Amino acid sequence: MNGEQKRAVPDRGQVTGGFSPSVDLISSVIAGLLIGLALDWWLGTRPVFTIIGVVAGFGSGFFKLWSYSATLEEQAKERIRGNRYS
């Protein structure tokens, strides 16, 4: 196997077909929205927690996108280094 071991679990991108970053963003916003709505209903407040939840969901989703793009960039750098010295 040329010094490389096969992974027992495939990469996340192989399983999801590349939709993972967009699904992460959308699911984070929806989760924040639902948590905010539930807190507003439970506490009897106006849409204060809904707005906070949506903003927190966007923040979490964009952080996930940023970390995913940083991972892709690092993989690209590794490929370039590998091609340069092989």
Q: What is the residue whose two structure tokens read 């949506």?
A: 54
CB atoms closer than 10 angstroms to residue 25: 19
Classify residue 4: in a domain, yes or no.
no
Low-confidence ranges of the chain (pLDDT < 70): 1-18, 84-86
Classify residue 59: in a domain, yes or no.
yes
Q: What is the pLDDT of residues 46-56, one digit of tens each?
A: 999 999 999 99
How far apart CA 77 and CA 6 sit, in angstroms, is 22
Classify residue 11: in a domain, yes or no.
no
Note the pLDDT of residue 1.
47
Classify residue 10: in a domain, yes or no.
no
Classify residue 39: in a domain, yes or no.
yes
Note the pLDDT of residue 13.
61
Report the domain count for the chain: 1
> What domain range includes position 73?
20-84
